[in-house]
Structure 1
Amino acid sequence: MGEEQRQPLAAAFPAPPPYYKHFTAKNVARLKDLQQSSSASQDIAPDGKPEVEIPPELQCLIPPEPPSDGKCRSFGADLDISQPFVSLKERGMVQLYPSPPPGQAIESEWTLDRASYLKKFVKSMLLNFLELVGVLAVDPTQYAPKIDHLIRLLYNSHALINEYRPHQARETLIMMMEEQLARKEAEVEGINRMSEKIEEVLAKLGTEEGDSAMATEDRSDEEMLRQENMDGQRRLWQLMDEDVS
């Protein structure tokens, strides 16, 4: 990548990086072919990684390594990925949804209908936004309370969504495992069907060979009887010729 592509994105809402045009299905297929050919050739570099020359337009398709210092930049703000989640109480915000009762923090013993509360928060934000528009039309100096209400609703919504992340990750993993299991079951079923077809073909071949052998034996018996009849007729004609002479 060029020097322009290496510059950090410091704007709050930056434009897409210039290398986004390289993310095409054709380039993804090319990168996959290169990686597979490198694995097949078993060319290993001194650092233990497969040694393969990746073109510049494909290098941006390789995911970067996690930051060594645990810090990254998103929408112009520096983030520390090792920093623990900050609760609403630590932020000085009022929590608008219930917390687990004391002694029942285990998920199997206590659950919360997060979808219901999220829908309520969205409706409340729409209502507060309409009220804010009305306040600005009548007396713009009285905007602060409605802004505070909107901020409180937004923080509660984000906190509730973040609490839902572990469940979402588990459900995503379950879905992926179910898809893998379905593929494996389909493969096993296909192998079983093919095995049954092969057994049917082998059984038919065995039956045809048996019929062919029986037919050959029947033909041999008929030829032997025919030959015996012909021999008997010859002997009869010989006897008749002797009597006449």
Structure 2
Amino acid sequence: MAEGEGEAGVSAMPLPPMQFVSQYTTENVSRGLAPPPPPPITDQYSMFGSDYQVDDQIIRPLESQGIRRLHPDKFDHKLELKKLNHSILVNFLDLLDILIKSPNTPRREEKIDDLNLLFIHMHHLINEYRPHQARETLRVMMEVQKRQRLETADRFQQHLDRVIDMLKQCVQSMPEDIGGASDSEDIKPDLEELNRQAGISQSKRDEDYGKDRLMCSIWTTSSQDEYSKLPTSNTTRSLSDFVDLYHSLHRPYCRQRNYE
């Protein structure tokens, strides 16, 4: 049992992240119960079984990793990569020859170590191109974005020119004597259409029709002489003026509705 627990405690793969996700639910975050982020690493950390320092270079020198350097400090990457490729091919053929003739000799292990060292150097030289690759990738990405934005701006300009031309054509095609309608009947609104748009039902219109007709009949049969018999004062004069104003405004409305 103890042996099984020891094997379970050491795993090549990380633990499932659900044990962390379950702690950062919406409820825990809103209540402030979610665990805080881990403190930043300030000195040394381990990754994939190797120890690293925070201030280490992105591409560590071979000497700092305990690996013997095969090429000089100042060299041509292209030339050295070609040499390494050729050396790997030659050493691989030598290894095949050793495996055929004497597979159990120590030379087999030596040749494998040589191949391992050559591959490490090749990968190291390739990794030294990574910063240049990152810069080139960023440059290409920015050039693509610039080209896309210029093309978008050109399309906008083309559409703008077309809209301006269309507006100019519309202005030129407009008649010079355009103005208000000559006949007031042309712009008179249709009563039925207005009622339909307002959602007024037929029964409601009939009810309003009766009330309007009654009011029109009352005011049209009334005589203004009755108001002239009243004593002349500011109040009666204002009332008389109101009656005159109402008649002047309401009589055309009654005629329009065919109440008279």
TM-score (norm 1): 0.49
Greater radius of gyration (CA): 2
Relative contact order (C-alpha < 8 Å, sep 6+): which is higher?
A: 1
TM-score (norm 2): 0.47
